Amino acid sequence: MTALEKTPRIWGLLAQYEDPHAIYKACEKVRDEGYEAWDSCTPFPVHGLDKAMGLKPSRLPWIVLCVGLTGSTFMLWFQTFAMGNLYPMIVGGKPLFSLPAFVPVWYEITVLSSCVTAFLSNWILSGLPAPHHPAFNSKAFERVTDDKFFIMIESQDPKFDLEKTRALLQSTGATTIEELAS
């Protein structure tokens, strides 16, 4: 094995911040510099951070709406078809198409299909499960679930230059900057 193969490839840079205001301002600066392959990690939701990062609105609500409406339509059609064609039975003098009798199952299938879609789509759109990420090797990153805020800029970003990116993160007020190995 050569010395070149022993050297770990740099995945990116990890910058640590002390409070929500600092990471908000840092995200605005990184966004304004034109970086694309980067993310922020916080111990709790920071209001407006998605706008500071320049993120587009999520597709998740539209996916949930489409699947929920599809599930709802399918269940109403299925109950109508089953009661009217497959197993026509008049119960208590009610007509074969009795909307009030269909509502409980119709409603529950709509909610169930929407909830399952929201859960699974959120995982898929977020790239989960992620059993390993280069940031997990950082001792400092362990505090992301406690009281520290982080920005990670990937080396795959077209604008990434190790020294320029490090200088940018230092200018944003990062308390520590660490190289992440892949």
Q: What is the pLDDT, as a whole number, of residue 145?
A: 92
Residue 71 lies in a domain: yes
Q: How far is CA 112 from CA 65, 67, 108, 119, in A?
A: 12, 10, 6, 11
Which residue range forms the structural domain that includes residue 44? Answer: 9-57+133-181
Residue 1 lies in a domain: no
Q: What is the pLDDT, as a whole number, of residue 9?
A: 87
Q: What is the pLDDT, as a whole number, of residue 5?
A: 59
What value does the mean pLDDT take over residues 29-55? 95
Residue 4 has pLDDT above 60, yes or no: no
Q: What is the pLDDT, as a whole number, of residue 112?
A: 97
Same-domain pairing of 26 and 70: no
- Under 8 Å CB-to-CB from 164, ≥6 apart: which residues? none
Same-domain pairing of 154 and 137: yes
127-176: pLDDT as tens digits: 888 888 899 999 999 999 999 999 999 999 999 999 999 999 999 999 99
Query: Count of domains in the chain?
Result: 2
Q: What is the pLDDT, as a whole number, of residue 154?
A: 96
Same-domain pairing of 69 and 122: yes
Q: What is the pLDDT, as a whole number, of residue 100?
A: 87
Same-domain pairing of 105 and 154: no
Residue 74 lies in a domain: yes
Query: What is this structure's pTM?
Result: 0.76
Q: Which of 90, 105, 126 is the last residue before a domain boundary?
A: 126
Q: What percent of the chain has pLDDT over 70?
A: 96
Residue 2 lies in a domain: no
Report the Cα–Cα distance between both ends of the chain, in Å, rounded.
18
Same-domain pairing of 71 and 161: no
Q: What is the pLDDT, as a whole number, of residue 26?
A: 97
Q: Which two tokens stand for residue 126?
A: 């977020």
Same-domain pairing of 27 and 113: no
Residue 84 has pLDDT above 90, yes or no: no
Distance CA 141, CA 87 (A): 61
Residue 153 lies in a domain: yes
Same-domain pairing of 21 and 74: no
**Residues forming beta bridges with residue 178, ordered by sequence position:** 14
What value does the mean pLDDT take over residues 84-93? 85
Q: What is the pLDDT, as a whole number, of residue 83?
A: 87
- Under 8 Å CB-to-CB from 58, ≥6 apart: which residues? 125
